[in-house]
Amino acid sequence: MVIAQHENEKPHAPENGSPLKFKVGDSVIFTNDYGVTFKLKITGLYQPEPINSLYATGSRYLLSGSSPWFPCKESSLQLDS
């Protein structure tokens, strides 16, 4: 259902016409669901084929750290200046 909703509504970048905020190599601060922050780097963009529920709910970025295979949402990131 979430995948069909994504296909119909296209609520997330880049499918909605907005550019992605971050690029590979950017230093970011990741905030997890508990409010804990981590300084990490974006190591890649998550682009599964076919689209899965993680992608459909906005997960676009792969990060350095203990779970480099698990994508995160743009809303969990901010640039580390």
Q: Token pair for residue 51?
A: 């689209």
- Confidence (pTM): 0.92
Q: How far is CA 63 from CA 2, 6, 45, 68, in A?
A: 24, 23, 9, 5
6-36 pLDDT tens trace: 989 999 999 999 999 999 999 999 999 999 9
Q: Residue 26 phi/psi, 5° resolution?
A: -65, 140
Residue where the block lists tokens 């601060």: 29
* Secondary structure class of 9 (helix, strand, coil): helix
Q: In degrees, to the nearest 5, what angle opens at C-alpha 55 toward C-alphas 6 and 66?
A: 160
Residue-range domains of the chain with CATH: 2-79 (2.30.30)
